[in-house]
Amino acid sequence: MYRRFFERERIGRKQAEDLLEERSRELYLSNQKLAALAIKLEKEVVRARADLERRKALENQLALGQKMESVGQLAAGVAHELNTPIQFVGDNINFLKSGFDDVESLLAAVDTLLEKCQSADILEDDVQAIDKLCDQIDLDFLREEIPLAATQALDGTKTLTRIVRAMKVFSHPGSRSFEKVDLNQLIEATLSVSRSEWKYHVQLVRELSDDLPLISCLPGELSQALLNLIVNAANAMSGDTAGLKSVLTVRTHRDGNYAVVEISDTGCGIPEEIQHRVFDPFFTTKGVGEGTGQGLSISYRIVVKLHRGTMSFDSVVGEGTTFQIRIPINGAPEVYV
């Protein structure tokens, strides 16, 4: 009886020891797997962190690349805008020189007349000669056209100055510190730089508020965002309009602590099924070689991430699109790159 009891106890203890050993082995293997997973997870975290840093670097490179691409695309148009005023400035200066040469001839004749008058020579013949000279040089025409030519020359130099100042906004490296700027002047500079993109097929309407305070922003970056939106609107209206010019409207106003810019076009509109992708990087409806699909994405990053503002749009197919950006008047508390 006792022998049978101890035998059952020995068998039970052996089974318990075997079960404990099996569970210990399973626990050991599980710990080994967890350790391997922990090492793998750590590597994944390191890799993800590196990927994030590379992504940030890529975004910065893409932003700079888009900026330089935009300037490059507009270079030919800017050259044309510069060439026209330079040409009529040169023509008008040449006209002024020729006209004043003729005036000098007249003045010389007047000097001769005065000398002869003083010596009591024949006055009547000299007066007739001066009248004839006035007719030959068309003195009335010179008196009318010389001031006009001077005015045109001055207007040309003002145009050159405005274009060059506008280009400076896009040519210098982006500032990392916020500056107080006049938003309306920033828009005017952007319109000047982009004029070659829209002037032939678009009627521009400005509705700029005259009571906007100075806003705190990164002027180079914000100008880039505005440029992308204006060029995008112009491109949306580049199709056949039956000889009628489309309308590009730029509005500004204040809404509480925000300065608001609205850029509206009467173009083709954005289909509803793709509206959720408008701000996605590399998304574009243009053909190959016509754009990178980065313009709106970069504008969104500049407005939302760098300036802590908002960017939205309303669009109706066949009627047009309005993009609205809202920028804090006092600027973002810090720059997010």
- pLDDT for the residue 332: 61
- φ, ψ dihedrals at 153, nearest 5°: -65, -45
DSSP conformation class of 243? T
The domain 178-337 is classified under which CATH number: 3.40.309.10, 3.40.830.10, 3.40.50.300, 3.30.565.10? 3.30.565.10
**Which range among 114-123, 176-185, 319-328 shows the weakest confidence by mean pLDDT?**
114-123
Cα–Cα distance, 170 to 73 (Å, whole number): 13
- pLDDT for the residue 146: 84
What is the pLDDT averaged over residues 32-52?
A: 77
Cα–Cα distance, 294 to 280 (Å, whole number): 8
What is the pLDDT averaged over residues 47-57?
A: 74
Share of the chain above pLDDT 90, in %: 18
- pLDDT for the residue 72: 55
For 270-320, how does the pLDDT look when each residue is reduced to its tens digit (9 = 90+)? 877 777 777 776 556 554 444 444 678 888 888 998 899 999 989 888 888
CA nearest neighbour of 107 among 125, 132, 134, 128: 134
Share of the chain above pLDDT 70, in %: 71
pLDDT surpasses 80 at 324: yes
For 141-176, how does the pLDDT look when each residue is reduced to its tens digit (9 = 90+)? 887 888 888 888 878 777 777 777 676 666 554 556
pLDDT surpasses 70 at 39: yes
Q: Where are the domains of the chain?
A: 178-337
The pLDDT-based confidence of 43 (bands split at 50, 70, 90) is confident
CA nearest neighbour of 194 among 160, 224, 158, 231: 231
pTM above 0.95, yes or no: no
Q: Are strands 258-265 and 310-316 parallel, antiparallel or unpaired?
A: unpaired
The pLDDT-based confidence of 9 (bands split at 50, 70, 90) is low
- pLDDT for the residue 119: 66
Q: How far from the centroid of its chain's Cα atoms is residue 247's Cα?
A: 19
What is the pLDDT averaged over residues 90-118?
A: 77
Cα–Cα distance, 156 to 300 (Å, whole number): 36
